[in-house]
Every structure is written in C-alpha cells, then in structure tokens.
Structure 1
Amino acid sequence: MDKKYLKEETNVKELIAPYLKNWKYFVGSGILMFILAVLYIKSTPPVYKAQTSVLIKDAKKMSVASGDIGVLQSLGGLSGMGTNSIENEVGVFQSKAIVEDVLREHNFQTPVYAKQTFYNLELYGVTNPYIIHIIQEKEDAELPQKPIFIKSKGEGIILSSDEWKDEIKTSFNKTTILPFATIMIGKNPMYKAPKKVNLTEVFFSYNNFDNTVNDFQEALAVDLLDKDGTIISLSVDFENKSKAKDFLNGLVRQYNVYAINDKNIESKKTKDFIDRRIALISNELGDVETQKEGYKASNNIVDLPTEAKINLQLKEQSKAQILELGTQLELNKILQNTLNKKGKGDVLPINIGLESEAAAKSIQDYNTLVLQRNKYLENATPDNPLVKDVNQQIEEMKSSLSQSLQKNITTLELAKRKVESQLGGSEHMIGKIPTQEKLFRSIERQQQIKENLYLLLLQKREEAAISMEITAEKARVIDKAFVFKKPVAPKKLMILGVFLLIGGLIPFSWIYLRSILQSTIVKRTDITKLTGLPVIAEIPKLTSKDNTLVSFNDVSPMAEAFRIFVTNLRFLLPGKESPYTIMVTSSVKGEGKTFISTNLSIILASSRDKVLVVGADVRNPQLQRYNPSMKSAKGLTEFLSEDVLDVNEIIHPSGYNENCDFIYSGSIPPNPTDLLQNGRLDELLTAVKAKNKYKYIVLDTAPLLLVTDSFLIADKSDAIVYVTRSEVSEKSYMEFLNHSVEDNKLKNVGIVLNGIKESNFGYGNKHGYGYHAEEKKWWHKFF
C-alpha cells in the first residue's frame, strides 16, 4: 500500500479521533439542545403571514405625459392623482400618515393578552373582552416595561403591575389616569369567550403612539409583483390572524380615501386654475380677432387666397391678350406695307389670321378687282375704258383698304397698351401677396392657438367638474387580505437544526479548543510531531483495580505493554556483549520513571536474565516505596561516600522476582553532584559487571530538567529510556530533549509514553493489548 495514502489516512483518523472518543458529549449535548429547541418552539407563539394584493389603476411607469399638450392633459381630474410612479405608490402604502389612521381606527396601540402555559396569547376582535382607549399620552413619561394586568368584576376593574406599588381601582367607561397615559376601558359588546383558552390572567401592554406606528411600519412589507406592472403586494407577519387581515384591509381602505381626497383637491385646484386661464385667453382671443378684422379692412382683403388666385388668372389672361394683340398689330402692318409696295396687277395675301372681318372683306374685294383688270388686259390695252374704270376702282379700294388697316393698327396699339397696364397692376398685386400672407398668417395663427387653448380649457373644466363627482377607488383589490394556514414562525425544522448544530458545535469547540490549548503530551503523535526520536513504548494508565507492578505470567494490558517495551528496547541496545547499562530518566518529577524502571526490570528478569536496578536518584529516592521495609537500608549514597566499601553489602533481592536485585538509593546526601563525580559510581558499575552475574543494569536516575545528576551518568549508559507521561509532561520538554541529543549530552535515546489512556494509544487503541483483553461490545468498535 502507498505510504502517502497511509499517512493521509492516519492524519484523518488522528483529526477525528478526539471527537469520536468524546462521542458521549455530542450525544448528551444534542439531546439537551433538542429538549431546549422543543421548549423554545412551544414557548414561541405561532406567527402567521397575511397578504393582500391591489391593482393601482392610474399608476404609470412614465414620469411625464406624452403628446403635444401632455402637460395640460395632466391637469385633468379623470386620471385620478395624475401621472405618478408605481414606486411612489409603494412608499405611500408605507407612509406614517396612513398607518396612523389604521391604528386609530382599530385601536392597535394597546394589545390585550391572556397568559398561557408556554406563551401569551393575543386576544383580538371578538375574543378581546376589553376595549382600551388612549385618551392622552403623557409626554416624557417612562414607558412601562411590565404588563398591566386587568381583573374585572361587575362594573369594577382592578389594574396592577409589577412596576406599581399599589393597585389602581376603576370602572368601565371611566377615565383612568395611569403613570404613562390617561385611558378608558370599556366592555367589548361583540365579545365571545374563546374556547380552550386560559383567561385567568389577562393583561395589556402599552407603547406610545409613535413607537407603535414605527413597529407596524417595520412589520409591513410592500412589494411590486412585476416591475413592468402596477400590482402591489402587501404582507405582514402577526400572531393574530384577524388582526393581520384587519390591518391590511385598513391600509387599502385608507389608501383609497387619501387618493380620493387628493384627487378632489387637485381637481378643485385644476378647475380654479382653468377658470382663470379661460378668462385670460378669452380676452386675448378677442384682441386677436379685432386685429385680424382691422388688417383685412386696411388692405381690402376679403379672402387672401382667392384674391391671389384671381390676380394670377388676370396676369395670365393679360399676357395672352398682349400676345394676341401684338400678333394682329404686326399682321395689319405687314398688309399695309404690302399694299403700298404692290402694283396694280398684284393681289394681296388672304387668310393670314386677321381678326377684322371688314379688312378681310376689303382685301377680298380688292383682289377681285385686280384679277378682273388683269383679265381685261389680256384682250385690251391699258387705255381701254373698261381697264381704266377698273383701275379707278382699284385705286379707290386701295385707298379705302389702307385707311382701314391704319385704323386697325391704331385701335390695336391702344388695346395693347391698356392690357399691358392691367398686367402691371396684376403683377403689383401679386408681389404684395407674400408680405400680406405672412402678416395675415401670423394674426391667424395667434387666433388658432388662442381658439384651441380656449376650447381645450373648456373641455378640461368639464372633465375636472366630472372628476370631482366621481369617487372611484384608486387601488382595486385583487386578493382580499387572507392568512396562510401554515405559520411562518417558529420554523420548527430550522430551529431544531440550529439547536442541534449548536449542540454539536459546543462539544466540538470545546474539544477543538482543548486540543489547541493542550500544552501537555497526550498521545504518541504529540511526540512524533515534536521529535525524531523513536517512541519505544506506550504504557497504559493504571486504574484503581490494576497492580502497580507486573507479576509472573501476567497477561494484563500493562504487562503486554512492557513486553513490547522490552522487545523495542533490545533493538535500541548496541550489538555488544552484556551486561547492558540502561538509564531511565525523565524531564521532571512525577512522570513515572521509577515505575518504568521497576516494571522494566521485572519483565527483563522474567526471561531468566539477571537484572540489577540501581536507585541513582539520590535526591528523591523512590525505589524504596515498592519495598517499604528497605527504606532505611544502606544503598548507593553510602557506597559513593565510602561508608560501605563492598558492593555486595548494598545489593538486595527485589522480592518480586528471584532474577531481579535492587540497589536502593540510601540516605539523601547533602552533596549529590559531588558524590556522583567522585569516581565511586564507576567503581560500582565495574565491580557489578566484573561478576558477570547481571545481563542488564537499570539506572533509575533523577529528572534531567531539574538537576544535572543524570547528565553525569548518561555517558555510562548503553541506552537511555526517556519517560514522558500523558497529560502531565509538557510539549516543551521535547525541545529540551532535542537540544540535549543535538549537543551529544544524550545518546541512543528511546522515549516511553507513560500513563496513556486506552483511547489515545497510537496502535491498537480499539483492541487493547493481549489475547485475553476483554472483548468490546459491537457498538464500542465505532467509538
């Protein structure tokens, strides 16, 4: 298996082990918090959500009216309060003025309660036996913090409170002065005693009006259901269902009252404004019409467009006449010139477009005479009387025709000049039209504006008058106030969850903080995190039933732990011939080094190896406590001070195992350090080893952190057993041990963790030591 995986798995187990070990705290805390949660739920009155929704009829999302005259259209009363934003209407519902009116209407300032087993039940409507009116509040008076209890008998009433020294006696419908206000209590004529309600203790609470209004404003939730719509939802969370519905219905009712009043005020102001404007516009319209009339008279204008059309027609007609007259004039001049140049035998042209029928007839007669003459000349001479007669006629006709043409020319020239004069007049009139039209249109435009405005104001005045007579509600109720059957509070599952979570967090936090603040070594991993030295044994904590010393064929967990200790110790000892010197030490007093030394020696001796235990802690001898009869026996101190010269005199049988002997510490010397340095300890060890009797020499030495005695002995040891005690030894001791090893003061060190609880064992903590350990119940295997 991957070592990394094993390490991660071990870390996870290590993290959760403290919590699993203390599972009873979690169960107990969970049960306690569950009971508290149930009590909390039972002691909390249920709160119900009431809701209503209304459609605001004339609320608009636009902030200004559209159209050319939108501003004036907004003056009309038919659109209620005029242009408004739906967001503003949300604010109107939450306004203090509306809430105040609802509170006054329903007398919400002094709620009445009946004290029940777990909570106080609010009495409202037909279930409330009393109607309490606040006649006058006392300014700057201290508000009552305790309830005011009401007891009534007949017409008499007794009021009492824990804040008052004496009771106040009064009667129904009588003004009563209280420390905070003047009130009057009346009977509710609609009262019906509620079923299954304890009415033994009935009381009311009081808050000043402003605070009550603020409380209701905070309780009210106003929401716009659709940002593009005009439907508003109103909701409150109250303990009493009827009270919640009455409050919401009252809000809608008061909102409509305010809207109608505002609309009427606005309509009245609008009508007054329109009347003033109508009078002003009427005068201005009269002035414009007078100006128009004067302009027409001064410019001889009846209808400017018609006259312009006539002048244009006259202009075109004059141009056509001038063209026609010019043509006739030129034709007459041509004929006259031709007549003057032609001989007697030449005819004149006919049908050239002359309009004068007389001239045309004369030309035709002239040509007839010329043709007749020419015919005579074919058979006669010019002197022929017929020819002469014809010539005479031709001359006369020619003279008459010439005069006729000249007369036509004169007439046409006169007619042409007259038409040209008419054309000039028409063109002059046409040239004046743009200026006249500009001025006339300006006057006419002013007239139209004034007329339109005048007519509009007349219409708006009628609309405002009609609007004042219309009292349609602005907020149309879509859903009348209703209450959801399921209470919104207390939220039982959430409360249970929170309490159970707290129930888990309390022991979790306690265990976690304890682990963080834990300054002592508790389990094997606490040591392995602080030092790289091997942990060669974990000795279980003794119970009151356990023996302090192991015995022969002992199969207890402690004996098994010491056997594992011995096995690991043999791997620590150097590969040389015996005897082996093993120094047992610790950091401070009380960590169990003498207990470890003694039991280690007994286990070593159980394999028929001879073991000698030396009580080298001459400052605080502890080895004698395992054999009280040897307290006064001579020991190591006497040998070191040369009071005893033969080592055999201070070796005593242990009394526990025939293969185990003790050298007790002896008396406490005044100079322990000097004795340990005088060389006699080396002589003792040399003498013992020379016997070749003992395979193991166990030195029970003084604590390293307190005195230097053990450092003087350390170099004489083949292995050092460093004893720590669970929940006693400080973690900081490991730093001292590390420095001692790094400085070569201690060598070949193995650590023993003594007094460890079974649940804190590094290995086998779920199974115990030995084959004969008591088998655990199945549920214990999970913890």
Structure 2
Amino acid sequence: MSANPPFLTFATEKEKNNTTSIKALLAKYVYYWPVLLATTVVLLVIAFVYLQFADPVYEIKATLLVNPDKTTTSQQDGGQSVLNRIDLPNSAEIVENELAKLKSAKLINEVIRDLELTVSYKVKNGWLYDDVYYNGPFKLRMIKSDLDFGEKSQISLKITVKDEHTFLMENDAGNLQAFSFDKIVHTAMGTWKLEPTKEIINFKGALLKVTLFEPDKLTAFYQKKIDASLEDKLATAVDLTFSTNNKQKGKDIINHLIEVYNEDEIDEKNQETQNTIKFIDQRLASLTGELTGAEKDIENFKSAHKLTDITSDAKFELDKLQSNDARLNEINVQLSIVDGIEAYVNAAKNSNRAPAVIGISDPSLVSSIERLSQLQLQRDQMLATTPETSPDFEQIDSQIRTTKTAIKENVKNIKSSLTNAKNKLQSFNTTSESSISNLPTQERQFISIKRQQSIKENLYVYLLQKREEVSLSYASTVSNYKILDNAYSMPFKWPNKMIVYAIAFFAGICFPAMVIYLKHLLKGKIVDPSEIENELETTILGEISFDKDASSLTDNKGIINEQFRILRTKLHDLRSDGQQSRVTLVTSSIAGEGKSFISSNLGLVLAGAERKSILLELDLRKSAITDSFKLAKGHHGITDFLSGTVAAGDIIRPSGVTPFLDIISGGTVTSHPAELLENGKLNQLIEILKTSYDNIIIDSPPVHLVTDAFILARVSDLTLYVIRQGNTPKSELEFIKKLMKNDKFPLVNIVFNGVNNWKYGYGYTYDHTYYEVVPGK
C-alpha cells in the first residue's frame, strides 16, 4: 500500500502521549495573550510608580580586625604538656564567638537606649513620610510610661507643629487639641512631654508621625537587620553591614555598636584583674595590723629588757631562720592559693570570679586557670543569647570539665611538692631553733619576736609589689580588635530598576498564567484527548476542529469538511462484510456537545459519496436537524408515524442540499416520546428504511438526561459518542466507561468535537493553507 498522500498534513492515527509537550503548553497560554499583555503592562506601570516614590535603601558597612587573645592562642612550653589533651578553641572559633557577641541582645539594647531608637520621627511630605532622625523639631521624653503594646510592635501619634511654642494633637474625643512644648501631657500611653529643638522654626505647620516601638521586638528587628560576617573564612576580618533608608542613622548605629562592643570587651578583660587586686588588698589590710603588732612587740621587748644588739652567732642563726621562714611563708601562701583553686574547681557551680593565682609559679596551672576563666566568660556570653538547654552548650561544658580535670591533677602534684618542701623547711627551722636555744633566754625571746616581724614585713612588701604589677596590667588593658573601616555608606542597593522591572514583567506573565492553569484545573472539563483514551482504554475515532465562523452545515472545502471525510472513511472500515445498510446512532452525555452538528455533517459527507443516506431527528424535544437544513416546520414526522396517523413514505422529505440525503424530522411535539419509541413501530420504520438507504443516521437525545438513547440503541448497529473539548465534564468519562463495559450501546466509538488547539493546546495541528489554494493555480 502506498504512503499517505502528501497533501494531508493531519494524522490519521492518534498516538498516546501521557506527557504534555512544551508546544501544547505554550499554545494553551498564547490563546490568552491579551490578558497576559494587559497584566504585564499594568504591573510595569505599577513598577514605574513604585520606583518614583520608593525610598532608597542604603547599605552601611564597617570592618573590624579581631585579634585572638594571646593568652589563649599561645601557651608556655611548661603548660602545653598538660593542656595538650584539651580541645582549645582556634582563631576561627573565637571569631565566631565575637560575631555572636556583636549581634547579642545585650549590646543591641545598649545601642537602642543610647541612640533613643525606641522613638522615630517622620514628617509628611506629599503622600509619604520622610525620616527626620537627627534634625527633628522636637524630642519625646517619657516621664511615666503606661504603654501597653499587646500584640502590636509599635504605637503612633500624629503631631502638628502649630508654632515654636504649641503643637496640635488629637485628644480622646478625636478633636485636635493644642498643647505646649516642654509642658507635661497626660494621655493613655502615660505621662510625657515634647522638648523642642533648634530646628523647630523650620517645621511650622508640619505634620509629623511619632512612632514608639516595643523594645524587645525592636531589639529582635535590629538583630535580624545587622549582619556580622567574616570576609574570609581563613581571616579574622569581620564585616558589619546594616540596610536602612537613612544613611546617618545607619552610620550612628554601626559606629555605636562598635563602641559598646569595645567597652564590653575591656570590661570583661578587667574583671579577672579586679578580682586579683581585691584579693591582694584584703591580704594587705590584714597584714598591716599584724605587722604593726609585731613591731610594737619588738619595741616593748627591747624597752623592758634594755636590749640594743645580739651576738654574731645569734645573728647568723637568726638570718638563716628568717630565710627559711620567708620560704616557708611563701609556701604557705601558695598552699593557701592552691586550696582556694581546689575548692573552686570542686564546687558544683562557680561564680564569675576566678581564683587568684598570685604567687603560683607553675605556668601549667596558671594557663589552666586562665583557660577556665575564658571558658566561663564564653559560656556567660552564650547565655545572653541562647537557652541553657541548647545543644550548643555541650561542647563548651565538655571543655570546662576537661579543664577542671587538668587543674585538679596539677593541683594535686603542686600540693604534694609544696607539702614536701614545707616539711623540709620546718625540719631546718627545728635545727636552727635548737641552736638558738643555747643563747640566753632574753636573746632567744627577742629573736622569736623579730622573726615574726620579718616574716610579715617580707610578705607585705611582696604583696605590694604584686599589686603594682597587676595595677599596671589593669591600666594598660586594650581590646582585641582594631577598626579597619569606620561605618560608611555604599551606593543604594534598592530599589534596583532592572530587578523591579524584571519582577513586574515575569509576574505579569506568571500570575495570569497561574490563574489560567487553576481555572482549567478547577473547571474539570475534558481538554486533552489522552484523558479520554487513558480513562476509556480506547482510541478516538475522529476529531472535529472548532471554528467559530462555521455554521451547523460545513461547505465542501476546508479542514472541518475534510475531517468528516476522514470519519466517513473510518466508518466504512468498520462496516461488516456483506452489510448493505447500517444504522448509526449519534449521541452524547449532555446537551451542547454537538451531536446534531455531527449527525448533520456526517449525513452530508456520506451522501457526498453517492451513498443513499437518511437522517432521523429522534431528539424529539428539539428540532436541531430541521433548523440546520432550514426546512419548513409543521411537516409530518417520526412522532406522527409512531402514533399511526401517517405512513412511512409521508414523513420522508429531501434535504434540499443533495439528492442522496433525505431527512425525517421529529414531527408533532409529544409529551411522552419514550412511550412512542417503545410501541414497536420504530423497528418497522428502520426495516422499511433499510430497503432504500445505505446509511441511516439517528440523532438522539443526550444519554445522561433522558432514556430515549437507550431505546434507540436497540435498533442501531454502531454508536458515535460525541465528547466536546472544554465542555464535557471529566466526571462523564466514568459514566461512559460503564456504558461501554455493560454493552448498553453497540460498537461505541468516540468523536472528539470542537477541538481548539489554539485555545487549549491539545489535539492535532492542521495546516489550513492547503485548503485555501484555488484549483487550477
């Protein structure tokens, strides 16, 4: 068999395709191009208006260089052996902690309080309000606040500046009332007053909106708006950025945040030093009284016994004993400090005050105490922004426990060493005291008193020296960061014209497209041929295109007429061998699906092949066939034959279009058509017509509305079930499937009518230009 003729550009077989092609998808939306275009134009106009009135948003930026504390990042060789098991934080971890601190609620609250950000002032300028951050006409001072924000984040007042001494504000009754500047005002929000500034003269007659913000929500707002980030993961340079409509306000916020961060950093560094100075001062105060008492004892002893000097032997033994006592006293001080450290690490909870390490020469223990103090400070900082139950505390708590374990081991070793040294010195003292006991009693007593005075004097001088060293350290404390760039304003980042117009353009396309998609989705109508084929598990026998200019009868040219010819060919292929005459029932589920249109044009194309055909108007409730062929009404028809009033030959009438097509109209209107169809005469009529006609086409009522079609199916050989694109509900497919399964209709074949590929993007695409060619050219 030869291939299909080249002039046919439509497919003769429908292929299943479960995926929607891009071309079909685009075609469905192109149908609505006026809507898409109008929406896009409107949104572009809105974008233009927005760009004219939108306040520019500037990005304020500052850069800090964070230098990790040297006491943390570098350990002495002696201490490294003990701490090598502890996971000390590296520079990156320390900087991450500083980033969290810069955005902490504590520092943000200080900035808000110092810059008075809980109150904003905006002056009306046309339709909008402009911020007057630093050059406003007055300042609001709350004397006693009764503010109740509830769920709101702000409360606003509208103030009109009448003159330099008076302003207007709505009272509780809603009327404008005059108030004086610098005078106390009592309202529902509390007791307050407005203090005029030197700029008041420039705002005469101006309307200002004064907004009071809820402090906690304002803090949370600035925590989100201020961004602290590393310029490079391998570096310690921190970028502080803040987006705002007011450049000066943004600069003040960032600069003041750096200032309060510096103050807080120095305060934390001085905390340990202050604790040490306090400990030394307490010891010095105690020693002052003891030393005074010892010196008074020497004075009284010499006066009582008239002593002026001691022997050289006694001097030698005394010097040796004093040397041992000085060392013994130093050991006792260290033991006292070690006991304090041991009690500190063994305590269940520790205060912020770390134990003093003055006099401890072991670098390992000193570095461990410093490490523990830093970890405690870091944990306190985290508590300011994070609940204690957070998993983030697990790592730092583990480091604290490990550090305490190392300190305990170190204390144990140091304590043992100091105890041994103490025992040896006490033994030496016993020997020296035995030698001195041989001296005269008076000299021995004097030496004992002198020794006590020397011990206290040496300890007093030692503590004075340490206090000066600590004080010098306190005075020279500096922060661990350096300002690389103070706050400066970058070019405004919003609104960006290209982005705004791009958003408007794509929204103008996407929004109506979404509405169109939802419209088709919620409408629940059949638009895709694959929905029919997949649900009914059958192929579509033929498709008839939609043409809004087409009448109920097609002409002999054009795509729709050619589609009916294709349908005629397929119906011929379905004819049984030896079948001379065939009865074709044309029906549908509901009204408006085009079954009468299909019946009329199918009759024409069958007659066009010079096959004698007749069209029966058996939708007795309507006269669609009679109207399509423009036949005169009032002629006898099928109801008249079924009623027995006329013979079969009296109801047949020519179509007036072709001699090969006749028509039997509905006839006289009846109120009980189903009963007439079942009286048995319909079978007689069909048998009579079969003797004269090759094709008998029955135009029946919708199946889902009346029972007539089920009666007509008994005398039919084949059924053409019409489904119309965009009109037939998807729910009807289940009904049709049951009809086919129960064999209620003979040889059911689907005709997909009203296919509008331009509107829905589904169905075959046909080339109309071929049918526009004039024959002979």
Calculate the TM-score normalised by the size of structure 1. Answer: 0.65
**Helix, strand or coil for the counterpart of 1:599?**
helix
- Tell me, yes or no, if the aligned pair for 2:721 and 2:750 is still in contact at 8 Å: yes
Matching residue's letter, 1:251: L
State the shift of 1:751 in Å: 2.0
| Matching residue of 1:351 | none
**Helix, strand or coil for the counterpart of 2:733?**
helix
| Matching residue of 1:112 | 121
Matching residue's letter, 1:681: L
Q: Say whether residues 1:546 and 2:553 are aligned partners.
A: no
Whole-angstrom CA distance in 1 between matches of 2:567 and 2:169: 79
Whole-angstrom CA distance in 2 between matches of 1:229 and 1:754: 71
**Helix, strand or coil for the counterpart of 1:457?**
helix
Matching residue within 141, 144, 151 for 2:161: 151
State the shift of 1:278 in Å: 3.7
| Matching residue of 2:374 | none
- Tell me, yes or no, if the aligned pair for 1:135 and 1:183 is still in contact at 8 Å: yes
Aligned pairs (5 A) from 1:679-690: 679-690=680-691
State the shift of 1:653 in Å: 1.7
Aligned pairs (5 A) from 1:205-224: 205-207=211-213, 212=218, 215-223=221-229
| Matching residue of 1:753 | 752
**Helix, strand or coil for the counterpart of 1:111?**
strand
Q: Relative to 1, partners in 2 of residues 1:193 and 1:663: Cα closer, same or farther, differing over 3 Å?
A: same
State the shift of 1:723 in Å: 1.8
List per-residue Cα deviations over 1:294-334 (Å, max 9, x = no partner): 9x979989989xxxxxxxxxxxxxxxxxxxxxxxxxxxxxx
| Matching residue of 1:651 | 652
- Which consecutive unaligned segments of at least 5 residues does structure 2 have? 4-12, 81-92, 299-309, 322-422, 433-450
- Tell me, yes or no, if the aligned pair for 1:157 and 1:171 is still in contact at 8 Å: yes
State the shift of 1:651 in Å: 0.9
**Helix, strand or coil for the counterpart of 2:772?**
coil
List per-residue Cα deviations over 1:412-434 (Å, max 9, x = no partner): xxxxxxxxxxxxxxxxxxxxxxx
- Tell me, yes or no, if the aligned pair for 2:124 and 2:207 is still in contact at 8 Å: yes
What is the percentage of aligned positions where both structures have the same residue? Answer: 27
Q: Relative to 1, partners in 2 of residues 1:522 and 1:674: Cα closer, same or farther, differing over 3 Å?
A: same
| Matching residue of 1:138 | 145
State the shift of 1:601 in Å: 1.6
Matching residue's letter, 2:551: N
Matching residue within 560, 568, 574 for 1:572: 574
- Tell me, yes or no, if the aligned pair for 1:221 and 1:234 is still in contact at 8 Å: yes
Matching residue within 118, 121, 136 for 2:130: 121
Q: Relative to 1, partners in 2 of residues 1:439 and 1:451: Cα closer, same or farther, differing over 3 Å?
A: farther
| Matching residue of 1:406 | none
State the shift of 1:586 in Å: 2.0
Whole-angstrom CA distance in 2 between matches of 1:9 and 1:58: 61
| Matching residue of 1:18 | 28
State the shift of 1:122 in Å: 1.2
State the shift of 1:619 in Å: 5.2
List per-residue Cα deviations over 1:77-124 (Å, max 9, x = no partner): xxxxxxx97777666655666555544544433322233456432123
- Tell me, yes or no, if the aligned pair for 2:103 and 2:228 is still in contact at 8 Å: yes
Q: Say whether residues 1:276 and 2:247 are aligned partners.
A: no
| Matching residue of 2:386 | none
Q: Relative to 1, partners in 2 of residues 1:169 and 1:749: Cα closer, same or farther, differing over 3 Å?
A: same
Q: Relative to 1, partners in 2 of residues 1:156 and 1:140: Cα closer, same or farther, differing over 3 Å?
A: closer
Greater relative CO, 1 or 2 (CA 8 Å, sep 6+): 2
How many pairs were matched up? 611
| Matching residue of 2:367 | none
| Matching residue of 1:765 | 765
| Matching residue of 1:525 | 530
Matching residue's letter, 2:486: A
- Tell me, yes or no, if the aligned pair for 1:557 and 1:769 is still in contact at 8 Å: no
**Helix, strand or coil for the counterpart of 2:535?**
coil
List per-residue Cα deviations over 1:423-474 (Å, max 9, x = no partner): xxxxxxxxxxxx9888118999x99999997665322211344466x47653
Q: Relative to 1, partners in 2 of residues 1:756 and 1:161: Cα closer, same or farther, differing over 3 Å?
A: farther
- Tell me, yes or no, if the aligned pair for 2:160 and 2:205 is still in contact at 8 Å: no
- Tell me, yes or no, if the aligned pair for 2:755 and 2:763 is still in contact at 8 Å: no
Q: Relative to 1, partners in 2 of residues 1:260 and 1:671: Cα closer, same or farther, differing over 3 Å?
A: closer
Aligned pairs (5 A) from 1:620-631: 620=622, 622-626=624-628, 630-631=632-633
Q: Relative to 1, partners in 2 of residues 1:147 and 1:730: Cα closer, same or farther, differing over 3 Å?
A: same
| Matching residue of 1:734 | 733
List per-residue Cα deviations over 1:530-577 (Å, max 9, x = no partner): 22444333333353x4322234xx434443333333233323333435
| Matching residue of 1:560 | 562
**Helix, strand or coil for the counterpart of 1:537?**
strand
| Between 95-104 and 606-615, the greater mean CA deviation after superposition | 95-104
State the shift of 1:613 in Å: 1.3
State the shift of 1:132 in Å: 0.5
Matching residue's letter, 1:656: V
State the shift of 1:162 in Å: 9.8
State the shift of 1:54 in Å: 4.2
Calculate the TM-score normalised by the size of structure 2. Answer: 0.65
- Tell me, yes or no, if the aligned pair for 1:115 and 1:199 is still in contact at 8 Å: no
Structure of higher CA gyration radius: 1
| Between 3-12 and 606-615, the greater mean CA deviation after superposition | 3-12
| Matching residue of 2:699 | 700
- Tell me, yes or no, if the aligned pair for 1:641 and 1:675 is still in contact at 8 Å: yes
- Tell me, yes or no, if the aligned pair for 1:114 and 1:199 is still in contact at 8 Å: no
Whole-angstrom CA distance in 1 between matches of 2:263 and 2:519: 66
- Tell me, yes or no, if the aligned pair for 1:52 and 1:234 is still in contact at 8 Å: yes
